[in-house]
Amino acid sequence: MNDSINLKPGARLISTCCSTQVVVVRAPKTPLALTCGGVTMEILAAPQSGTPDSAPAAPLGVILGKRYVDDQSGLELLCTRAGAGPLSADGRDLGPKEPKPLPSSD
């Protein structure tokens, strides 16, 4: 079974096993299988109403407002609704994007 999907910037995805929702910031060049909690994520046709979660459901969950990246594929996601997670792309766990250090003001 091949669950790979061709992602495009701006695509919204929703987890089917928790409350996690993400938007694609940078898409990979090739299709990949994107999962949350080990279950394939689905493309969200219309934005859901309601207030986003303010905290993840688990200590190692997906955090609202954080960007998650896969260095191998170039995928970058922005979390728009927190959830239990974790996010994975083709079996590789996605980690939060580290902030760029600001230049010194010397």
How many distinct structural domains can be found in the chain?
1
- The verdict on residue 100 lying in a domain is no
- The verdict on residue 34 lying in a domain is yes
How far apart, in whole angstroms, are the C-alpha atoms of residue 99 and residue 95? Answer: 12
- The verdict on residue 80 lying in a domain is yes
- The verdict on residue 5 lying in a domain is no
Check residue 72 and give left, alpha or beta (phi > 0: left; psi -120 to 50: alpha): alpha
For the chain, give the percent of residues with pLDDT over 70: 83
Residue 39, Cβ neighbours under 10 Å: how many? 12
Average pLDDT over residues 54-74: 78
Judged against a pLDDT cut of 70, whether residue 52 lies above it is answered with no
Judged against a pLDDT cut of 70, whether residue 14 lies above it is answered with yes
Give this prediction's pTM: 0.81
- The verdict on residue 103 lying in a domain is no
How far apart, in whole angstroms, are the C-alpha atoms of residue 54 and residue 74? Answer: 27
- The verdict on residue 70 lying in a domain is yes
How far apart, in whole angstroms, are the C-alpha atoms of residue 27 and residue 9? Answer: 6
Laid out side by side, the sheet with 34-36 consists of 39-40, 34-36, 87-89, 92-93
Q: Residue 103: in which H helix or E strand, if any? A: none
Across all residues in the chain, what is the average pLDDT? 85
Give the domain extent around 51: 12-93
Q: What is the pLDDT of residue 62?
A: 92
